[in-house]
Amino acid sequence: MRPARSAGAALLAVVLLGACAKSTAVDLSASNAAPPSFSSAVRWPGPQPSDAATARAQLAALTVAPVRPMTGYSRDRFPHWISQGAGCDTRESVLMRDGQSVVTDAQCRATSGAWTSPYDGLQFTDASKIDIDHLVPLAASWRAGADSWTDEQRKLFANDLSRPQLLAVSAASNRAKGDQTPDQWKPPSQAAWCHYAEAWTNVKTYYKLAVTEPEKTALGRMLDTCPAGS
């Protein structure tokens, strides 16, 4: 349980919220990272996942199977980051898509902008502090059936800008997550659990990847955090 805020801290939060509402520009501190925000209305960047009802139906239909062996696995079997046109690769494309007021140089590198990590609410103005997360990790997909794909299919999976598979997140959250599934790791911000479970289920359904029994149970519990009627 978090300690109650002091009256002064609560007043400061209201003032800051009002200031942000007056402008679409994000004014962040020079330290490059603000304290985590755990609002109930987390901003989920990129392609939006389905509603919870659709995700529940998809989850019920997913194949449940034990994890497959990691024999033959290598990140090189999932070529990334590939060119996405206009001189930009997949990483640069996600940074532009998920950020606000992003400015790039002639090589499509983000030179300024603002990013909020949906996993933990941390805010950044330095793109080098951002990781591009594969929502369903490459190694996790291998254990769920991607070991039988061609390298071309794995390349499409690793660079998919059309589904909620790629997110600009804090490096800390991405590295803490690693290749773990939802029964092993969840976003630090519980406000992100609903969209995370929806997106994970959408991606596994589209790519016909299996889930384990503990993974399926964890996803169901995360979907339970979705607002009623969503």
Q: What is the pLDDT of residue 41?
A: 56
Question: For residue 109, what are the domain limits?
Answer: 35-223
Q: Per the structure, how many domains does the chain have?
A: 1
**CA distances, 139 to each of 67, 159, 175, 199, 201 (Å):** 11, 15, 14, 17, 17
Whether 221 contacts 153, CB under 8 Å: no
CA gap 103, 142 in Å, rounded: 35
Q: Is residue 36 within 8 Å of residue 121, measured between CB atoms?
A: yes
Q: What is the pTM of this model?
A: 0.82
Q: Which residue has the tokens 């194949």?
A: 63
Angle, in degrees to the nearest 10, between helices 213-223 and 52-61: 170
107: helix, strand or coil: coil
Q: Which residues, other chains included, contact 129 with Cβ-Cβ below 8 Å and sequence gap of 6+? A: 32, 33, 170, 171
Are 77 and 151 in contact, with CB atoms under 8 Å apart?
yes
State the Cα–Cα distance between residues 190 and 141, nearest whole angstrom: 24
Phi and psi torsions of 167, nearest 5°: -140, 140
Asked if residue 51 belongs to a domain, the reply is: yes
Given this model, what pLDDT does residue 43 score? Answer: 83
pLDDT in tens, the chain (230 residues): 334 344 343 333 333 333 333 332 332 222 333 333 333 457 899 999 999 999 999 999 999 999 999 999 999 999 999 999 999 999 999 999 999 999 999 999 999 999 999 999 999 999 999 999 999 999 999 999 999 999 999 999 999 999 999 999 999 999 999 999 999 999 999 999 999 999 999 999 999 999 999 999 999 999 999 998 66
pLDDT at 174: 98
DSSP string across 124-176:
ES-GGGEEEEESS-HHHHHHTTGGGS-HHHHHHHHT--SSTTEEEEEHHHHHH
Residue 188 lies in a domain: yes
Domain-embedded: residue 25: no
Helix (H) or strand (E) holding 113, with range, is: strand 110-116
